[in-house]
Structure 1
Amino acid sequence: MTTTVQTPREATWRPDWPLDVRRALSPHRRGHGDPTLQYTADGAAWRTTSTPVGPATVRITVHAGLVSAQAWGPGAEWAVDVVPRWLGADDRPEGFAAHLHPLVDRLHRSSPWLRIGSTGRVWDALLPGVLEQKVTGIEAHRTWKQLLQLAGEPAPGPAPAGMRVVPPAERVRAVTDWEWHRCGLDGARRRALLAVAGVASRLECDDHTDCEDLRRRLRSVPGIGVWTAAEVAQRAIGCPDQVSTGDYHLKNLVGWSLAGRKTDDAGMLELLEPWRGHRQRVVRLLGVGGTMPPKRGPRMAPTDYRRF
């Protein structure tokens, strides 16, 4: 049988900063082997996405500073047009006072590639965000891969083997309790996921959606708290000021990097206050070159809910 590959939509774009595609897309990668984001030996980045008109696969390459994007699938035209936004073209770092702390200043100078991108797709960030609630990254990434294998559509076009598109909300609602159990999803996250799937279309953003409006709408859904709302806002609309309070590790990364001590969420926000408007930018920089306190005691162990 002969398979016909759709002619891709194509676009090129030249950023005015030293773009690093892998680092720009890293907030969207859910562990090694994420079926929605892969890199190939030729240096290309492959990413799948939902769009308002259907799924799409995008291939991104960079040569001599010129970004080339190709896209396949029903949403190809939409997807290829938003690639610059994915990579940070809409971010505005002007006015960022990095000099207020020597570490932040040094990291800012050594990371000229850093821009905060935005996907324009709430559901693509919300589904994995719910899976990551109150569990280890290992657990969340395992469940993410299994859910995509179970319910995700195969990636359109000549994507690397095994790539999948985030399943639409109606497909998520159709997953049975037994299938959720096989994916390793506990009851609390399952209920939250079904709640957001029931109102997914009303949560999507447009060019006029601001961070606070999106966070308010997300938090109106049972099971969605401040952490998940912030994580989604950071990715979907590129909020440069959103901080993920309630994160198990972040408060100590910020506290130890900026003040040499552990802290709580209130202390973290106090330390970040001088950069209000750019607090997420500081967090991203500390993720590149900040420090964590020395590890003492046992780590939080993953729980395999499939055994229960």
Structure 2
Amino acid sequence: MTSTPALDEAACYAAASSRDRRFDGVFYVAVRTTGIYCRPSCPARTPARHNVTFHRTAASAQGAGYRACKRCLPDATPGSPEWDVAADVAGRAMRLVADGVVDREGVDGLARRIGYTPRHLTRLLVRELGAGPLALARARRAQTARTLVETTELGFTDVAFAAGFSSVRQFNDTLREVYRASPTELRARRAAGRGPASSTTAGELCLRLAVRTPYAAGALVDFLGYHVVPGLEAAGPGWYARTLDLPHGPGTVRVEPPSSLEREQAGRTAFVIARFRLASLLDTSAAVERTRRLLDADADPGPVDALLGRDALLAPLVAARPGLRVPGQVDGDETAIRTVIGQQVSVAGARTVTARIVAAHGRAVRLAEPGLTHLFPRACVLAEVDPATLPMPRARGRALVGLAAALAGDDLWLDRGADRAEVRARLLALPGIGPWTADYVAMRALADPDVFLPTDVGVRTAARNLGRDLEAVLARTPAWSPWRSTALLHLWQTLIPPLAPAPDLSPDAQTKD
């Protein structure tokens, strides 16, 4: 187990004194004299050193009795990029808490996913993060509730349950304690100058998801659009949409990242628009967290671009796409199964086969987002399929069904709460799963930032197009660690064409035809 290093308080104070935005979300500054906690970049005057303490999480600051600053909104920052790099127990737990595991399954469920006893996990998180699972979940609920109160027209009862609270009273008490404001007072802030709320109807939400800039939004949408599976996903210039199989019912998300984020000043916090349609508002936290994973929203592009930009081969690619992200996933099982489908076939071929499997075995849903008709088949469904009926070579069909059976059990988790080395070993033990498949799954499903695929056909093609010998390219990869996944994406991105406009699938357009 890797222990999270202790905060260097001198370095933290220096970052806060310089209002360095790059540290927003990495730690929080609590001020004894005011009783509030802030982002390091808060524009307020930095107090004397003896009047401040530093916390790894908003939950830790709240647990110490501090309330969130109304000026800099510290709990609205992107999460710490360290969680994905370190992949330690604390980081894995943070991701599962954000997905709502504690709200749905309790501390026992979270501990089971991590592989610890509840008591030991709580003790570890308090030591590493300054707060236990219940406090971390409470801080997440408070942040979700504040966002919904200030940016939507949802009634407070709907907000309370959408944020994961068990009662309206608990919702009211928590917001008053954390923000020193009632829900009514928080909503009044919008009327006082924060702009109008999004238009919201039952089950529909339009939220702003915080990201660090620069953010290569166009490249990410192009990548996702290049791999779109009809019925499951849709995409066009500047947007991507897909269905979501959530704990309480189906949903959809449509993300619309502003292209201007690519050239924003490094270190700033900016926002991606996400439009959700949910069968149950209880799934709000899960839908938001899975979308953030898909967008790699917690990454810090500064050190990544700085390292890769020093390489002669990658420097022009980094300059062309600053802030490039590694697309994640909304469902680890889906990612693994789609990776097996894509073994040794073209992207177009994989899309066609996957669409046939989705149509045959996925759950049909009626949702308002045009072009989205099915959820991806669950592993337990595919585990019962006769491999001979799948539209692929028999051996690959057996591999897919075997993988689905393993995922349907309780010994293989792909939800970012799993240990990467252990997952890789278990994947390689399955028939038909080789290093390329296991490592691609680690990169996309487990957010491993340091994956490179030396046998990948796309790497070979990109090297040739860049006028480089493959062996010479591979010899450079050790210097790209610990961000070889982003380096791989830079090479792949040279092969991905910009998205063409998607066909208009709205009922009005179909009527005109």
Q: Residues 33 and 117 of structure 1: is their aligned pair in 2 closer, same or farther, counting only changes over 3 Å?
A: closer
- SS of the aligned residue for 2:207 comes to strand
Q: Paired residues, what number? A: 279
Classify 1:23/1:210 alpha carbon distance in 2 versus 1 (closer, same or farther; 3 Å).
Answer: farther
Amino acid at match of 1:222: P
- Cα gap change, 1:131 to 1:47, in 2 (>3 Å): same
CA 1:56–1:132: 2 relative to 1, 3 Å = same
Which residue pairs with 1:297 in the alignment?
none
- Greater relative contact order (Cα 8 A, min sep 6): structure 1 or 2? 1
Aligned equivalent of 1:192? 399
Q: Answer yes or no: is 1:135 the counterpart of 2:345.
A: yes
Specify the code of the residue in structure 1 equivalent to 2:379.
Answer: A
Task: Give the Å deviation of 1:197.
Answer: 0.9
Counterpart residue number, 1:223 = 432
Larger helix proportion of the pair: 2
Contact 2:230 2:371 in 1 (8 A): no
Whole-angstrom distance in 1 between the partners of 2:400 and 2:300: 33
Deviations 1:207-230 (A, max 9, x none): 443433332232222211111111
What corresponds to 2:240 in structure 1? 45
Gaps of 5+ in 2: 1-200, 261-269, 497-513
Query: Which residue of the other structure, out of 63, 66, 72, is the alignment partner of 2:278?
Result: 72
User: Are residue 250 (structure 1) and residue 459 (structure 2) matched?
Assistant: yes
SS at match of 1:281: helix
Distance of 2:455 and 2:249 partners within structure 1? 34
Gaps of 5+ in 1: 292-308
> Secondary structure of the equivalent of 1:153?
coil
SS at 1:14's partner residue?
strand
Q: CA deviation at 1:61?
A: 2.9
1:32 deviates by: 5.5
1:284 paired residue number: 489
TM-score (normalised: structure 2): 0.48
Change (3 A) 1:173 1:252: same
> Which secondary structure state, in structure 1, belongs to the residue aligned with residue 430 of structure 2?
coil
Partner amino acid for 2:483?
Answer: H
Aligned to 1:84: 292
1:8 aligns with 2:204: yes
**1:1-308 residue pairs with structure 2 within 5 A?**
7-29=203-225, 31=227, 34-39=230-235, 44-51=239-246, 55-62=250-257, 66-69=271-274, 70-73=276-279, 76-77=283-284, 78-96=286-304, 97-119=307-329, 121-155=331-365, 157-177=367-387, 179-180=389-390, 184-201=391-408, 202-254=411-463, 257=466, 260-263=468-471, 268-289=473-494
CA distance in 2, matches of 1:131, 1:109: 34
> Matched residue of 1:274: which SS?
helix
- TM-superposed deviation, 1:160: 1.5
CA contact (8 A) 1:91 1:238 kept: no
Match of residue 29 from structure 2: none
Distance 1:20 1:190, change over 3 A: same
SS in 2 for 1:15: strand
- What secondary structure, in the 3-state scheme, does the structure 2 residue paired with 1:95 have? helix
Deviations 1:241-293 (A, max 9, x none): 11124323323534764x72244xxx6542211112111211211223489xx
Q: Which moved more, 1:205-214 or 1:239-248?
A: 205-214
For residues 250 and 441 of structure 2, the distance between their equivalents in structure 1, rounded to whole angstroms, comes to 19
The one-letter code matched in structure 2 to 1:200 is L
Deviation at 1:109, TM superposition (A): 2.2
Give me the whole-angstrom Cα distance separating, in 2, the residues matched to 1:40 and 1:133: 26
**Once structures 1 and 2 are overlaid, which stretch shifts more, 233-242 or 80-89?**
80-89
The residue type equivalent to 1:35 in the other structure is G
Question: Does structure 2 retain, via aligned residues, the 8 Å contact 1:131–1:143?
Answer: yes
Task: Give, as a single letter, the amino acid of the residue that structure 1 aligns with 2:211.
Answer: P
Structure 1 136/160 Cα, relative in aligned 2: closer, same or farther at 3 Å? same
Q: Deviations over 1:111-165 (max 9, x none)?
A: 1241224326321111111111122333322211111111112345312235322
Query: Cα gap change, 1:276/1:137 in structure 2, threshold over 3 Å: closer, same or farther?
Result: same
SS in 1 for 2:314: helix
Q: Tell me by how many angstroms 1:191 deviates.
A: 0.6
